[in-house]
Each structure stands twice: as structure tokens, then as C-alpha cells.
A and B are shown apart, each in its own frame.
Chain A
Amino acid sequence: MRHLAQCVMQSGDEAGLLLDYCAGRLSGEREEAMRRHVALCESCRQVVEGQQSLWSALDAWEAPEVSAGFDQALARRIETAPFYQRWLEYFSWKPALSAVAVAAALLAVVTLREPAAAPVPAEADVADVEKLEQALEDIEILTVLNTAGQPAQM
């Protein structure tokens, strides 16, 4: 490729505009002004041609699909967070959690912390607490999903 002296449009804010033009992200006046410049400027014309063929080459690089088990793996990692942390999160995240649910959760915590009166450790209690936690979380997610609708900010 023959290299021409760099045009002022290829530095500073103008470089951003030129890249936007190459990517088809300009419109109206600005696009028209850039089109006129490129028609007259050999150096920028080279950039535009090179950039457009680069972008179509990059388009061919597809990312694989996210694994089907991604969310479950994440849920497992969230669940294995320290026990106290999860409870702190529930109480601060969901102040409007129903009193019944909170009472049930507290009861479960108390049960779990009960000194080992029975010879068998409270394995079943732990499982129950985890089920309860999961259920609370499901409720939370379902409730907020119902009213979700605001698009993510970009």
C-alpha cells in the first residue's frame, strides 16, 4: 500500500469521526461532510477502504455460544458464598420481603444455630435452609421479572 502524508482528519476528534464514518455510524450533515472530504482526500480514502475491508474481515470472527450450564454454574458459585454474606444480602436487598418469609428465614437460622442436642448433626436443617433460601430467591427474581422492562443503559 502506498503511504500518503497523514491528513488532519486522522488525529484527535476527527480520527474518531473518520472511524465512525468507516463504520457507518455517522448520519446527516456529518456523514455528508465526511463523504465530501474522503472524495477529495487520497489519504483518507485509503484509510476508509482499508478500514472497511478490515471490518468485514473482523465480522467473520464469531464467538462461540455461551455454554448451556453457565447460569447453573453461576448459581452454584453464588450459593457457595459465605453463609452470613448471603443472609446480609437478603435483608439489605429486599427490605420489603414479607414478614412471614423473614420470620421463616430467621427461624431456619435459629434452628441451624441450635446447639447440637441430637447426636446427628443438622444436615437436614442445612438442606432445608438452602431450599428456603433458594425459594426466597426464586420469588424475588420472579417478582422483579414481572415488572422489568427498562432497557439496559448502553
Chain B
Amino acid sequence: MLRVREGDSSSFALLLSRHRAPVVNFLFRMVQNQAVAEELAQEVFLRVYRARQTYEVSAKFTTWLFRIASRLALNWLRDTRKEKAQASLDREVADGVAWEVADRAPTVEHTLVKEARMAEIRRAIARLPEKQRAAVLMHKYQEMGYAQIAGVLGCSEPAIKSLLFRAYETLRGRLSHMG
């Protein structure tokens, strides 16, 4: 990011090409809606673009990037919940099997089973407390280490370790029958 500011060996375009998919994918799994995820990701990169002169050299860029992304996602989830849409998200995820299968032509049993599993996974993740959800997604899908997740979520590293352990414990309980 420092380099972007100095304009010598990196660029906003390059940052975008490197981080676009990870940020959108993370946001997708946070909010479980691709259109919303992309909208939030645009906001993330807009902020990156605008903040490129004031960026602190000491902080790691990816940590900073995911801090913005997490905040936006958590705000969106809170606003959405305020609008009582969380309940409908839960319903949507629960009903996911029905509508997703109805949406698509193949009716093979295999597809049904797969969709059912996916819906269960999405629901299990969606039911995690928001911070746990963010931590699990960054740990599992972005392959971030504890220190970095702690940096993103503004917690201590030991706190993140036990938060993650609890989150996975919950998920193992919820999805144990799938193994």
C-alpha cells in the first residue's frame, strides 16, 4: 500500500486484481448473498482508493483491507437484522434446498443431497455469532493466521484462538451428522 502511495512499484489496479476475489468471497460467505457481497466489496475498494495517501505503513495491507471488509459486513448484518431480515435469511437458508432445486433443471438425487448439505453448512455458519463467523471464514477460506485475524477483528491473539476453538466446536456439533 505504501508503494501505491509512492506510485513506484504497485498500483491500485494490481491491488484490485490480487484482492478482489478474496474480499468478495469473504463477504459472500459473511452475508450469503453475492449481489450484496459485491456491493460491499466495491465500498471496500473505494475506501482503499481514497485512503491511499493516509495509509499507515506499519499496518499490513491485507489486515487493513479485511478490517474494512469485516466492519462493512458486520454493519450490514446488524442493519439487516434490525430490519428483521435476519429471520428471513435464516428461513431462506433453511428453505434453500427447495428453492435452489426448483430453480435448476437437474433433479438427480445426488444434486438434492449436495444442495441439502450446502444449505446446512450455510445455515450453520449463519447461526454463528458474527465475530465467530468472520473469524472462521478468514481462518478457513482465507487461510489467515491467528495474529492477522486478531488484527482484523481487534482482539488479542489468545482471544482469537479460543473464539475459533469455540466456533469450530459449535460447527462440529451442528454438522457432525454430515461426516
Given A50-B179, A51-B172, A144-B9: A78 touches B164 (CB 8 Å cut-off): no
In the assembled complex, the Cα of A63 lies from the Cα of B161 at a distance in Å of: 25
Shortest beta-carbon distance from A81 to chain B in Å: 7
Shortest beta-carbon distance from B13 to chain A in Å: 5
Size category, B interface = 35 or more
| A149–B179 CB distance below 8 A | no
User: Which residue on chain A has the smallest CB distance to residue B120?
Assistant: A57
B168 touches A (CB below 8 Å): yes
| B46–A78 CB distance below 8 A | yes
A140 touches B (CB below 8 Å): yes
- B-chain residues with CB within 8 Å of residue A152 when the two chains form the complex: 15, 18-19, 61-62
| B60–A12 CB distance below 8 A | no
Residue from B11, B122, B178 within 8 A of A140 (CB atoms): B11
B76 touches A (CB below 8 Å): no
Q: Which B residues from 9 to 53 make CB contacts under 8 A with A?
A: 9-16, 18-21, 24-25, 28-29, 34, 38, 41-42, 45-46, 49-50, 52-53
| A66–B140 CB distance below 8 A | no
Interface centre among A61, A64, A71, A140 (most CB of B within 10 A): A61
- A-chain residues with CB within 8 Å of residue B42 when the two chains form the complex: 70, 73-74, 77
Shortest beta-carbon distance from B60 to chain A in Å: 5
Shortest beta-carbon distance from A68 to chain B in Å: 11
| A66–B38 CB distance below 8 A | yes
Residue from A58, A71, A94, A154 within 8 A of B148 (CB atoms): A154
| B8–A144 CB distance below 8 A | yes
Shortest beta-carbon distance from A3 to chain B in Å: 10
- A-chain residues with CB within 8 Å of residue B28 when the two chains form the complex: 63-64
Q: Which B residues from 153 to 175 make CB contacts under 8 A with A?
A: 157-158, 161-162, 164-165, 168, 171-172, 175
| B176–A11 CB distance below 8 A | no
Chain B contact residues, CB within 8 Å of chain A? 3-5, 7-16, 18-21, 24-25, 28-29, 34, 38, 41-42, 45-46, 49-50, 52-53, 60-62, 114, 117-118, 121-122, 125, 139-141, 144, 146, 148, 157-158, 161-162, 164-165, 168, 171-172, 175-176, 178-179
Q: Which 8 A-B pairs have the closest CB atoms?
A: A53-B179, A144-B11, A16-B161, A63-B25, A15-B165, A50-B172, A147-B9, A141-B13
